[in-house]
Structure 1
Amino acid sequence: MKRLLVAGVSVAFAIALGTGSAVAADKKVLAFVVNGASDFWKIAEAGVKKAQGELPNYDLQLKYPEQAAAAVQQRMMDDLVAAGAAGIMVSAVDPKNQVEHLNKIASQALLFTTDSDAPNSKRIAYIGSSNVDLGKDAGKLMLKALPNGGKCVGFVGLPGADNARERIEGVKETIKGSKVELVDVRGDEIDQTRAKRNVEDILAAMPDISCMVGFYSYNTPRIYEVLKEAGKLNKIQIIGFDEDPITLGGVKEGAISGTVVQQPFEWGYQGMKLMAKYIEGDKSGVPANGIIIVPGKVIDKTNVDDFMASMKTMLKK
Structure 2
Amino acid sequence: MAAGNYTTLSEFILAGLTYKPELQLPLFLVFLGIYTVTVVGNLGMVILIGLSSNLHTPMYYFLSSLSFIDLCHSTVITPKMLVNFVTEKNIISYPECMTQLYFFLIFVISECHMLAVMAYDCFVAICNPLLYNVTMSYQVYSWLIVMVYMMGFIGATAHTVCMLRVVISKVKIINHYFCDLFPLLELSCSSTYINEVTVLCFSAFNIVVPALTILGSYVFIIVSILKIRSVEGRSKAFSTCSSHITAVSIFFGSAAFMYLQLSSVSSTDQGKVSSVFYTIIVPMLNPLIYSLRNKDVKVALNKILGEKTQTPLF
TM-score for both structures, normalised by structure 2: 0.29
- Name the one with the larger helix percent: 2
Higher RCO (C-alpha 8 Å, min separation 6): 2
- Name the one with the larger strand percent: 1
TM-score for both structures, normalised by structure 1: 0.28
